[in-house]
Structure formats: C-alpha cells, structure tokens
Amino acid sequence: MRILSGIQPSGSMHLGNYLGALRQWVEGQSSDAFYCVVDLHALTLQIEPEKLREQTTDLLATLIAAGLDPEVCTIFIQSQVPYHAQLNWLLECVTTYGELSRMTAFKEKSQRQEGFRVGLLTYPVLQAADILLYQTEFVPVGDDQRQHLEMARTIAERFNNRFGETFRVPVGTQPKVAARVMDLQEPTRKMSKSISSPLGNLHMFDAPEDIRKKISKAVTDTDGEVRFDWEKKPGLSNLLEIYSSLSGETPEQVAGRYTRYGELKTDLSELVVTTFAPMKQRYEELLLDPGNLYKIAANGAEKASDVAGVVYRRAANAMGLSG
Ligand code: AQP
C-alpha cells in the first residue's frame, strides 16, 4: 500500500498537524510509505533562509520524535529530490490557470499576501507532482487538503487520458475525528502554522504551563451546557474533538462525562501534557545532533529518488521529451 504525505516547514507543529496528519502517518508506516518535509512549498511564504533551515531541522526531529521510524519508512526533504520540481513543470503544462485560480486556499491566501507571487497560485500542481511521483495510493492528510487532493486526481486522470496510462490516481484519507482542528481563539478558522495566533495555536511541544493557559483561555460560549454541537458550540466542540482524538472515546462520550467547561479544560490540558511529554523529550534529544537528522534525510532522499526517477522518466517520455 503506497503512501505519501508531506508537511511544510512553516513553523512548529500544532495539534492539527499531529491529529489530522502525523498520527495517521505513524500508524501507516511501512517500507512503502514516504513522508517528506515539503520545503519548496514553504517558499510560497515570505520566509527567511535561516528560519527555513531551522524549521526544516525542527520538523525532521518532530516527525521522528512522534514515532516515524527511518528504518521502517522513508523520511526525506522534498528539495533533495529534484524530480519534484521537474515533474511540477510537466504538470503545470497540463493544468489551466482557471482551475488554479478557483482554489479556495489561493483565494484566501492571495488576499493576505500583498503582491502575491506566482508560486501561491501554482503550488497545488507541485503538490500533485509530490504525490504522483510515487504512484501513491493513499494520501493521509487533514480535511483542509481535500480540494488539493482532488486537483491531484484531476491532473492524473487528464494526463493519463492524453498521454497514456502513467500515474496512479490517489485517494486522500482523513481521520474520523480531529480532521480539522480549529484555532482555540477563533474556532471558525483552522489552526495553522503560518498564521500567528499566540493563544490559538496549540503546539505539540509547548511548555505544560502554556498548554494549560491556552486551553483554559480557549473560546467557548456562555450557555454552560457541555454538548457536542459544531454549529452552536464550535469552540467547545473543537475541544471535545481534540479530547476524543487523544482518548479514543467519541466526542459525545467525552461530553457526557462533564457538566462544567472548567473541568473538561483541566482534564484536557493534562491529557495533552502527558501525551506529548515523552515525544518532547525525544525531540529535544534528537535536536542535539542535527547531523544525524540530515543523514537520515539524505538516505531517505536516495530511496525516494529511486522511485521518483522511474516515474518522472515515464511521464517525460509519454509527453515526447527525449531527456
Ligand atoms: N488545523 C488542522 N487540522 C487538521 N489537520 C491539519 N493539517 C494542517 N492544519 C490542520 C494537516 O497537516 C498536514 C501538514 O499541512 P501543512 O504543512 O500545510 O500545515 P499548516 O499548519 O496548514 O501549515 P501552513 O503553513 O499554515 O499551511 P497552510 O497555510 O497551507 O494552511 C496536512 O496533512 C494538513 O491537512
């Protein structure tokens, strides 16, 4: 079962990244699973080179600390496998401006970036290249990636119809709960690495006192009834989904055990602190030896290149390129 997924080095990992994506990655890891730090995607943000390097190192440590085992799966850095950028160009030439400009993420992000650059429009094509290069069957991602995944499927189908069967058409997988973890202060907006929200983003390796503070200050509502109801109680429902995802109960079961928001928040804080404490310790140890992290990534890039090179050449030949 070929799996591929990626994460941008655009900041520290938050609970959305972990519950929506990374935990599925750890569960699905095998010799057929490829996980990458998609640093080329992070260039769509205005990011300082030193910061990008630092965040790439941080993410490698986070992935391994959370349970990805480089002896079992392939962990690599996207830019170390040049086929991603190469296939991107081929796929840009089968994708229309109209379909990219209609993407929701593009519409939202282009509003936020003054003088936005072309990469912001075209990065879903690079994402399609990331996925299609590995003949991926399943792409474990959070709910926010549905539209991009659909784009990758459309591009694969179009390419196959026009140039002959080349790519496998991938399927996205989302967890049953916490597929879209919301910002604790603005529960109608998803938690996001690249949007600064000091009290709204709950990071995996926040200090315990920060975890407690953020959860105790999380926005809820005033009617006081502990009930799972996204429409009327988005803030509380977000907390219940995080709780349920960590404890293995349903959100309704969790809600049924509480009559006060305060008690729920206290217990959730402890659950978050105890879940991430061992990973945090491992993460801090791994960061002491960045050379080792880059050795792991270089080995991963070699394995990834073996697979991606074959697929890239097949696609290039199908289009009539001689290289
Ligand atoms: N809030 C979320 N809830 C559940 N899953 C999420 N993911 C991201 N946010 C949530 C999933 O995490 C994986 C990595 O995605 P990413 O690197 O794009 O993460 P991000 O936090 O969304 O980072 P950015 O830089 O802020 O990206 P944009 O601006 O694109 O949102 C993916 O599987 C994603 O679904």
- Ligand 1 atom nearest to CA at 195: 26
In this predicted structure, what is the pLDDT of residue 218?
A: 97
DSSP state of 21: I
Query: 24: CA distance to ligand 1 center in Å?
Result: 14
For a pocket test of ligand 1, which of 144, 182, 195, 203 has the largest count of ligand atoms closer than 8 A to its C-beta?
A: 144
Distances (CA, A) of 313 to 54, 184, 249: 33, 46, 47
Numbers of helices and strands, H then E, in the chain: 14, 5
| Residue 142, ligand 1, Cβ within 6 A | yes
In this predicted structure, what is the pLDDT of residue 53?
A: 98
pLDDT in tens, 66-114: 999 999 999 999 999 999 999 999 999 999 999 999 999 999 989 988 8
| Residue 20 φ/ψ, nearest 5 degrees | -80, -35
Helix (H, G, I), strand (E, B) or coil at 127: helix
Q: State the catalytic residue, choosing from 190, 214, 233, 265.
A: 190
Per cent of the chain over pLDDT 90 is 94
Report the mean per-residue pLDDT for the chain.
97
pLDDT above 70 (res 140): yes
Q: Which whole number is the average pLDDT over 124-144?
A: 98
- Lowest mean pLDDT across 6-15, 114-123, 125-134, 227-236: 114-123
In this predicted structure, what is the pLDDT of residue 112?
A: 84
Q: Which whole number is the average pLDDT over 155-166?
A: 98
Alpha carbons 121 and 118: distance in angstroms, whole number: 5
Beta strands in the chain (DSSP E): 3-7, 33-37, 74-77, 138-140, 171-173
CA atoms within 13 A on the CB side of 221: 18
pLDDT above 90 (res 44): yes
* 271 CB burial (10 A radius; 0-12, 13-18, 19+): middle
CA atoms within 13 A on the CB side of 312: 19
In this predicted structure, what is the pLDDT of residue 5?
A: 98
Q: Residue whose CA is closest, atom 15 of ligand 1?
A: 7
State the fold for domain 3-177+289-318: Rossmann fold (3.40.50)
In this predicted structure, what is the pLDDT of residue 274?
A: 98
Domain segments of the chain as ranges: 3-177+289-318
pLDDT above 70 (res 323): no
Q: Which whole number is the average pLDDT over 226-254?
A: 97
pLDDT in tens, 188-206: 999 999 888 999 999 999 9
Q: How confident is the model at residue 51 (pLDDT cuts 50, 70, 90)?
A: very high
More confident residue, 272 or 223: 272
pLDDT above 80 (res 148): yes
Would residue 233 show up in a list of annotated catalytic residues for this protein? no
Q: How confident is the model at residue 46 (pLDDT cuts 50, 70, 90)?
A: confident
pTM confidence score: 0.96
| Residue 20, ligand 1, Cβ within 6 A | yes
Distances (CA, A) of 95 to 92, 100, 235: 5, 8, 38
